[in-house]
Structure 1
Amino acid sequence: MKVLVIGGTVFQGRAIVAEALRRGHEVTTFNRGRSAPDVEGVEAVRGDRQATADLERLVNGREWDFVVDVCGFVPRVVAESARLLSGRAATYAFVSSISAVSGYPASVVDESSPLYECSPDAGPDDGPDGGDYGVLKAGCERAVEKYFDGNRLIVVPGLILGPHENVGRLPTWLRRVHRGGRFVAPGDPGRPLQLIDARDIAIFTLDQAERGVDDRFLLTGPPGGTTFGDLLADCAAVTGSTAEPVWMDDQFLLDHGVQPWLELPLWAPEQPDWTFVWQISTAKAQAAGLRCRPITETVRDTWAWLRDLGVPDKLIRYRDTVPEPGIDPGKESRILAAWDARAREGGR
């Protein structure tokens, strides 16, 4: 089949391109060529999706069986792509985000849960929160549904990990464990996590797109597919590290100014606003064929990728406005010292 991928050079887009090529499809990518080289074997078309003239040049004389849009963040930009690709492809697959679901993570969500309110024509600063990522993703979903005349396949991932990750969550833990020594580990090591490999999202998305499915799916791993303790143990195993995790309770970390999710990636304190962060319903996707590899395999392959890169301190980021995840070493040392002092005083 003929496939167009908008983006396609990093992380989720790269996984989709690699899987499409593995299946023998003819793949065209459309991107600016700035983030990373294209996967060998694609027809690379350079252009900026925010420029109508570049989109018109892309579609001129071309047609595809389906398009996969992995880098849509602004509704009116996605709307223009959907409008110009109508009649040029049978299916438009859009990669959204669980952040577009308004009740998440304070409640259990599924495909029937409402999205944030956002116009399909909204600009980057529109929406009730002035350009909030999840709000705008909700508008992007509506843009595809409004402006693309054909099958609309919306995939809504939860927390994505895997090789080429350009967010930095798993790479942050791998690098920290590899560095060795005692390190801050958040909460309960038995706390279940719900994670998915980008390659499994790619397989599911292409399976549905090849069938011409017109539907919406929440995609993530099974609840409790791993635990925080098992994840960090996997990091130690693949890196060969003897680093020692020092598990600290949520309140202690919050009292010492540690930012959930950012400074300690994947850490969601046991508070009302985070209650169901790892309890997304995936029954619909599983019934449609979603299968998820063990997270141990994801950790192994992500470390192999980082090792091939020389375990860099910095990675290609998908949004420069988002701070680099990870805790400052000096701050971590101070927190470890405070924890040890509390232990000496009998505070545990």
Structure 2
Amino acid sequence: MRVLVLGGTHHVGRAVVEVALRRGDAVTTLNRGLSRPPAPGVEALVADRTDPDAVRRALGGRSWDAVIDTWAWAPRVVADSARLLAGRAGHYGYVSSRAVYAWPWPAGADESAPLVAGDPGGQDGGDYAAAKRGGELAVAEAFGERALLARAGMILGPYEDVGRMPWWLRRLERENFPLGMEFGLRYPGDPHPTGLHDADVSAALAAGLTLRPLRETLADTWAWLRREGDPAPRPDTPSPAQWFDPVQERHVLELARSLM
């Protein structure tokens, strides 16, 4: 299968590229070409996604069976890409977020839960939930039934540049905790203090979603950090000084130690 990954050098995009290559897919990436070199075997196209003319030139006359897009900022960028690719790609997979569901999330909610408002042509990416919803609408407008809107929950693991699991692993390292221990992870700076939430994901499981033990994810993330070092933080990531109140942090660490 011919796959185009918009991005492909960090976080979810990098993981998608690696999985596609292992499957034997022909992989193309499109990004600015600034952060890291392309993986071996990848056709790398260079363009700034915020410039539709540059993207059009980079795409040329190519076509793909599927496109994967993880964009999380101004929905207009997703709309531009989806329109450009509507006639040259079979399917468009947009990695959205559970954040598109209106807060507070009902316990046991499924895909029918109420959604936030979004503008597919929006120029502002400051509101993450609204931006992701706008991106969804943009993809649906361009691809219709050929669109997949994957509303992921908290995505943890190797290549993460948001500051969730890497932050905790480095913090546990400084506290001399065994890094293989398992306990609930709350994202420092999570605006929803209840942290993780109950949801009905039976539809995703029926479609083929598989579950991976947290221990394996922790081990892979730690191995990546030791191999490559901490990733540069995303520009929209808050300062570490604002992530977690010291008193709350100490309480969590003491609770974790009591469970060892």
Q: TM-score range by the shorter chain?
A: 0.7 to 0.9
Please report the TM-score for the alignment, with normalisation by the length of structure 1: 0.65
* Change in CA separation of 1:328 and 1:21 when aligned onto 2, cut-off 3 Å: closer
Kept after mapping to 2: 8 A contact 1:262/1:326: no
* Change in CA separation of 1:328 and 1:293 when aligned onto 2, cut-off 3 Å: closer
Structure 2 Cα separation of the partners of residues 328 and 286 of structure 1: 33
Equivalences for residues 132-171 of structure 1 within 5 A: 132-148=127-143, 151-171=146-166
1:79 corresponds to:
79
1:219 corresponds to:
none
* Change in CA separation of 1:76 and 1:335 when aligned onto 2, cut-off 3 Å: closer
Deviations 1:128-172 (A, max 9, x none): xxx311011111100001123660011111011111111111111
- Measured after TM superposition, the shift of residue 20 of structure 1 is 0.4
1:262 corresponds to:
188
- Greater CA radius of gyration, 1 or 2? 1
Structure 2 Cα separation of the partners of residues 160 and 335 of structure 1: 21
* Change in CA separation of 1:60 and 1:178 when aligned onto 2, cut-off 3 Å: same
Alignment partner of 2:220 out of 279, 298, 301: 301
1:41 corresponds to:
41
- Measured after TM superposition, the shift of residue 107 of structure 1 is 4.5
Kept after mapping to 2: 8 A contact 1:167/1:317: yes
Alignment partner of 1:332 out of 242, 246, 250: 246
Structure 2 Cα separation of the partners of residues 105 and 49 of structure 1: 32
Structure number with the higher strand fraction is 1
Structure 1 Cα separation of the partners of residues 69 and 89 of structure 2: 12
1:189 corresponds to:
none
What amino acid sits opposite 2:25 in the alignment? H
Gaps of 5+ in 1: 126-130, 182-234, 240-244, 246-259, 341-348
Kept after mapping to 2: 8 A contact 1:68/1:92: yes
Is 1:31 the counterpart of 2:20 in the alignment?
Answer: no
Kept after mapping to 1: 8 A contact 2:78/2:135: yes
Kept after mapping to 1: 8 A contact 2:119/2:130: no
Kept after mapping to 2: 8 A contact 1:86/1:150: no
Is 1:56 the counterpart of 2:56 in the alignment?
Answer: yes
What amino acid sits opposite 1:68 in the alignment? I
- Measured after TM superposition, the shift of residue 58 of structure 1 is 2.7
What amino acid sits opposite 2:246 in the alignment? E
- Measured after TM superposition, the shift of residue 334 of structure 1 is 10
1:200 corresponds to:
none
What amino acid sits opposite 1:177 in the alignment? L
Q: Identical aligned pairs, as a percentage?
A: 42
| Residues paired across the two proteins, number | 249
Deviations 1:54-113 (A, max 9, x none): 121133210101111122422211111110101101101001111111135455432112
2:236 corresponds to:
321
Structure 1 runs (4+) greater than 4 angstroms displaced: 325-329, 333-337
Alignment partner of 2:205 out of 279, 286, 291: 286
Gaps of 5+ in 2: 255-260
Deviations 1:165-205 (A, max 9, x none): 11111111111111126xxxxxxxxxxxxxxxxxxxxxxxx
What amino acid sits opposite 1:316 in the alignment? A
Structure 2 Cα separation of the partners of residues 98 and 300 of structure 1: 25
Structure 2 Cα separation of the partners of residues 152 and 96 of structure 1: 12
SS in 2 for 1:66: strand
Kept after mapping to 2: 8 A contact 1:3/1:28: yes
Deviations 1:295-322 (A, max 9, x none): 0000011011111134x4xx2233x122
Equivalences for residues 202-217 of structure 1 within 5 A: none
SS in 1 for 2:161: coil
